[in-house]
């Protein structure tokens, strides 16, 4: 391939001299090359061809047992000054990080091929898109990138001779967890990832580029890169209003983005358009509104719990051309997972570790052995989603009417509340918290603060990030209204109070009404909540007392929360925006009031 870009050619030569692949292969984005790579990976066992009659174009992959989720403790922001990475990121000086990782990369591709993957985050050639080039020795990575991003020769054409692309280097090396490093060099527009083969660590366009590097660029360039879904709610009159929502990993973004209106509301004529399920790039337009694009082209979604009741659109989306990672492999080469559509994969199935498996198996301590890893994932093309928005390819994206923040909170946070101003909304986002899920290593269930669901993904000092949010609202003439939701509040017995999933549209409907200046609300110390009759409950049989519990605001609990938020702000260092300190004090006064 003739490539008219000196920066690109020189960099590839340099990286090849480090990794010493036997061969360099340019990925052109063609079906023919993809098919050949699938065949090659099947031949080596890297992937397994699934039952092509039942699952056309689908493949199966198992990652290394110790390589099943993102690794925050091995993820670093490598800026020259430590203070630029801030207190919530791991930091290494760039020289030290390059030198150490070079030892892991050195010669790691001997006997292997280096694939050159030119990709665009956002429509190819759009002024708001960013180009990256990933060098990887993994066909699994190539096949995933072909789904998750726009890949191929037209990306190189769009780049031309420009040096303005993110240099992404990945090698599986020995998959050694101790030598695993996910390194970001925002000042060099460079990402190095080594010793992992798991999604978020190796599909470098996703969390590494589209969030960590992009958030750094976004602050400099005056836009925002956020861990948000984007969805359009088509009103009965045909007008579509868009919502962007930030929930931490495995807290319901994919599900909300694909929601199906419940029967009771469908008769009103609502229709949902899925625009994105994980990442939103947002900028201010001349109309004074914030507009968002989804820079991705596919879904990398949590599999367990996906079924025809919880998420029928996802079930439809993953019927073909999908890569399944770490689920159960059935004897007839179909796939199975917990809380899916069937009770059992049948005789002769193997679990995500490749061991013979059947439902109900217990380990020596009597604990249930799961067949699919809780963070098992599907990779599927965006356009296969029945509710896929046609605006995905539109470089302008969509105008955002409301931001929604949320997390998993057993108690405290009501089903929904509305911030009283932009700065109050930024305070709500900044103080978000959630129980830890299987999407990251660490103690599951532990509540941790996760501002804007960006704690693991902000590529610079988090206090500067919070100030950037304050500033964006100041610049926007018509900023979105801000809400906080909690689908996960539980009763005394530990059951979810709210049915969730499609029923969440009832809550969105109220939020959009409020954004239009309609909808009934009462003011509480934490913000506006719906009046008892404000949510349309047609067709949903929910006890009045349950609704009361869902919307309850307990002042004593919230006072304790303000102390915890203060501690968190203190931990972020001296330059947490004064606006947020003011909001905290104002909340305290209202709770005392």
Answer yes or no: are the C-beta atoms of 503 and 540 closer than 8 Å: yes
Q: Which does 247 bind (CB under 5 to 8 A by kind): ligand SPV, Mn ion, ligand GTP, none?
A: ligand GTP
The span of 45-53, 73-81, 244-252, 463-471 binding ligand GTP (CB under 6 A) equals 244-252
The number of beta carbons lying within 10 Å of the beta carbon of residue 5 is 18
- What's the token pair of residue 524? 């509480």
Query: Does the protein bind ligand SPV through residue 70 (CB under 6 A)?
Result: yes
The span of 92-100, 120-128, 204-212, 250-258 binding ligand GTP (CB under 6 A) equals 250-258
Answer yes or no: are the C-beta atoms of 486 and 414 closer than 8 Å: yes
- Phi and psi torsions of 15, nearest 5°: -70, -35
Q: Where are the alpha helices (DSSP H) in 516-554?
A: 544-551
The span of 80-88, 319-327, 347-355, 498-506 binding ligand GTP (CB under 6 A) equals 498-506
The span of 96-104, 209-217, 249-257, 268-276 binding ligand GTP (CB under 6 A) equals 249-257
Answer yes or no: are the C-beta atoms of 29 and 116 closer than 8 Å: no
Pick the binder of ligand GTP from 144, 193, 195, 254 (CB under 6 A).
254
Query: Does the protein bind Mn ion through residue 278 (CB under 5 A)?
Result: yes
The torsion region of residue 238 among left (phi > 0), alpha (psi -120 to 50) and beta comes to: left
Least distance between ligand SPV and beta carbon 580 (Å): 24
Answer yes or no: are the C-beta atoms of 152 and 118 closer than 8 Å: yes
- What's the token pair of residue 263? 């029967």
3-class DSSP assignment, residue 74:
helix
Query: Does the protein bind Mn ion through residue 583 (CB under 5 A)?
Result: no
Pick the binder of ligand SPV from 105, 270, 299, 300 (CB under 6 A).
300
The torsion region of residue 346 among left (phi > 0), alpha (psi -120 to 50) and beta comes to: left
Least distance between ligand SPV and beta carbon 25 (Å): 24
Question: What distance in Å separates the CA atoms of residue 583 and residue 427, rounded to the nearest whole number?
Answer: 7
Pick the binder of ligand GTP from 84, 241, 277, 296 (CB under 6 A).
277
Question: What distance in Å separates the CA atoms of residue 472 and residue 476, rounded to the nearest whole number?
Answer: 6
Question: What distance in Å separates the CA atoms of residue 307 and residue 304, rounded to the nearest whole number?
Answer: 8
- Phi and psi torsions of 193, nearest 5°: -130, 125
The span of 95-103, 106-114, 200-208, 571-579 binding ligand SPV (CB under 6 A) equals 200-208
Query: Does the protein bind ligand GTP through residue 310 (CB under 6 A)?
Result: yes
- What's the token pair of residue 367? 């604990």
The number of beta carbons lying within 10 Å of the beta carbon of residue 129 is 18
Closer to ligand GTP by Cβ: residue 199 or 479? 199
Q: Which of 422, 418, 522 is nearest to 480 (CA)?
A: 422
Q: Which of 27, 33, 292 is nearest to 154 (CA)?
A: 27
Closer to ligand GTP by Cβ: residue 41 or 121? 121
Closer to Mn ion by Cβ: residue 63 or 249? 249
Catalytic residue among 58, 251, 385, 458: 251
Pick the binder of ligand SPV from 147, 439, 497, 587 (CB under 6 A).
439
Query: Does the protein bind ligand SPV through residue 92 (CB under 6 A)?
Result: no
Question: What distance in Å separates the CA atoms of residue 151 and residue 133, rounded to the nearest whole number?
Answer: 9
Q: Which does 471 bind (CB under 5 to 8 A by kind): Mn ion, ligand SPV, ligand GTP, none?
A: none
Q: Which does 199 bind (CB under 5 to 8 A by kind): ligand GTP, ligand SPV, Mn ion, none?
A: ligand SPV
Question: What distance in Å separates the CA atoms of residue 180 and residue 170, rounded to the nearest whole number?
Answer: 11
Strand partners, 299: 380
Q: Going residue by residue from 246 to 275, which x/- string records binding to Mn ion, judged by CB under 5 A? A: ---x--------------------------
Least distance between ligand GTP and beta carbon 305 (Å): 3
Q: Going residue by residue from 203 to 242, which x/- string records binding to ligand SPV, judged by CB under 6 A? A: ---xx-----------------------------------
Answer yes or no: are the C-beta atoms of 546 and 493 closer than 8 Å: no
Query: Does the protein bind ligand GTP through residue 510 (CB under 6 A)?
Result: no
Q: Which does 70 bind (CB under 5 to 8 A by kind): ligand GTP, ligand SPV, Mn ion, none?
A: ligand SPV
Pick the binder of ligand SPV from 29, 123, 132, 200 (CB under 6 A).
200
Closer to ligand GTP by Cβ: residue 310 or 471? 310
Question: What distance in Å separates the CA atoms of residue 180 and residue 570, rounded to the nearest whole number?
Answer: 31
Answer yes or no: are the C-beta atoms of 215 and 454 closer than 8 Å: yes
Question: What distance in Å separates the CA atoms of residue 196 and residue 198, rounded to the nearest whole number?
Answer: 6
The torsion region of residue 503 among left (phi > 0), alpha (psi -120 to 50) and beta comes to: alpha
Least distance between ligand GTP and beta carbon 259 (Å): 9
Query: Would you say the C-alpha torsion 265, 266, 268, 270 has a positive or negative sign?
Result: positive
Pick the binder of ligand SPV from 120, 249, 306, 387 (CB under 6 A).
249
**208 assigned to active site:** no
Q: What residues between 470 and 489 interact with ligand GTP by CB under 6 A?
A: 487-488
Q: Which does 207 bind (CB under 5 to 8 A by kind): ligand SPV, ligand GTP, Mn ion, none?
A: ligand SPV
Least distance between ligand SPV and beta carbon 305 (Å): 15
Question: What distance in Å separates the CA atoms of residue 92 and residue 167, rounded to the nearest whole number?
Answer: 19
Q: Where are the alpha helices (DSSP H) in 45-164?
A: 82-85, 94-105, 139-148, 153-159
Least distance between Mn ion and beta carbon 227 (Å): 6
Least distance between Mn ion and beta carbon 381 (Å): 18
Closer to ligand SPV by Cβ: residue 15 or 256? 256
Least distance between ligand GTP and beta carbon 375 (Å): 8
3-class DSSP assignment, residue 397:
coil
Closer to Mn ion by Cβ: residue 305 or 345? 305
Least distance between ligand SPV and beta carbon 389 (Å): 19
Closer to ligand GTP by Cβ: residue 226 or 278? 278
Q: Which of 377, 381, 401 is nearest to 392 (CA)?
A: 381
List residues binding ligand SPV (CB under 6 A): 70, 199-200, 206-207, 249, 278, 300, 439
Which residue ranges make up the site for Mn ion (CB under 5 A)? 249, 278
Residues that bind ligand GTP (CB under 6 A): 247, 249-255, 277-278, 301-302, 305, 310, 439, 487-488, 496, 500-501, 504
Give the residue numbers marked as catalytic: 251
């Amino acid at each position: 391939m003739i490539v008219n870009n000196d920066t690109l050619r020189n960099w590839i030569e340099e990286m090849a001299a480090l990794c010493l692949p036997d061969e360099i292969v340019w990925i052109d984005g063609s079906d023919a090359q993809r098919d050949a790579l699938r065949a090659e990976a099947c031949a080596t066992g890297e992937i397994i061809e699934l039952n092509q009659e039942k699952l056309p174009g689908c493949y199966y992959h198992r990652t290394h047992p110790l390589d099943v989720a993102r690794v925050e403790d091995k993820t670093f922001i490598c800026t020259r000054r430590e203070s630029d990475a801030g207190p919530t990121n791991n930091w290494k000086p760039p020289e030290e990080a390059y030198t150490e990782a070079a030892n892991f990369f050195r010669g790691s591709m001997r006997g292997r091929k280096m694939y050159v993957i030119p990709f665009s985050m956002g429509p190819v050639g759009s002024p708001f898109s960013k180009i990256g080039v990933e060098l990887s020795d993994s066909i699994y990575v190539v096949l995933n990138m072909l789904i998750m991003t726009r890949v191929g020769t037209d990306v190189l054409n769009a780049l031309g001779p420009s040096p303005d692309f993110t240099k992404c280097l990945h090698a599986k090396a020995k998959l050694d967890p101790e030598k695993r490093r996910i390194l970001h060099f925002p000042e060099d527009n460079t990402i190095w990832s080594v010793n992992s083969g798991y999604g978020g660590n190796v599909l470098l366009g996703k969390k590494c580029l589209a969030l960590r590097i992009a958030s750094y660029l976004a602050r400099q360039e005056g836009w925002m890169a956020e861990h948000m879904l984007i969805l359009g709610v088509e009103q009965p009159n045909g007008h579509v209003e868009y919502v962007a929502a930030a929930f931490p990993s495995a807290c319901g973004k994919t599900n909300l983005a694909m929601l199906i209106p419940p029967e009771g509301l469908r008769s009103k004529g609502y229709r949902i358009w899925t625009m994105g399920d994980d990442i939103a790039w947002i900028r201010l337009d001349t109309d004074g509104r914030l507009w968002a694009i989804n820079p991705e082209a596919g879904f990398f979604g949590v599999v367990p719990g996906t079924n025809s009741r919880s998420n029928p659109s996802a079930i439809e989306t993953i019927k073909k051309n999908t890569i399944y990672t770490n689920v159960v492999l059935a004897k007839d080469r179909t796939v199975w997972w917990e809380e899916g559509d069937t009770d059992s994969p049948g005789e002769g199935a193997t679990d995500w570790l490749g061991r013979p498996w059947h439902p109900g198996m217990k380990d020596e301590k009597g604990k249930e052995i799961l067949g699919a890893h809780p963070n098992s994932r599907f990779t599927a093309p965006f356009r296969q989603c029945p509710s896929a928005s046609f605006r995905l390819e539109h470089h302008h994206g969509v105008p955002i009417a409301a931001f929604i923040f949320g997390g998993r909170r057993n108690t405290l946070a009501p089903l929904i509340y509305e911030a009283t101003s932009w700065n109050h909304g930024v305070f709500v986002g900044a103080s978000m918290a959630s129980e830890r899920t299987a999407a990251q290593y660490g103690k599951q269930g532990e509540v941790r603060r996760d501002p804007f669901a960006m704690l693991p993904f902000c590529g610079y000092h988090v206090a500067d990030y919070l100030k950037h949010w304050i500033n964006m609202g100041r610049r926007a003439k018509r900023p979105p209204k801000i809400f906080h939701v909690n689908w996960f509040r539980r009763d005394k017995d530990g059951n979810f109070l709210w049915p969730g999933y499609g029923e969440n549209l009832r809550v969105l409907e109220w939020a959009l009404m409020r954004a239009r200046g309609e909808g009934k609300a009462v003011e509480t110390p934490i913000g506006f909540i719906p009046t008892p009759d404000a949510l349309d409950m047609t067709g949903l049989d929910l006890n009045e007392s349950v609704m009361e519990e869902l919307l309850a605001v307990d002042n004593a609990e919230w006072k304790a929360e303000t102390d915890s938020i203060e501690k968190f702000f203190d931990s972020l260092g001296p330059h947490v925006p004064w606006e947020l300190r003011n909001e905290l004090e104002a909340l305290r006064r209202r709770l005392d009031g």
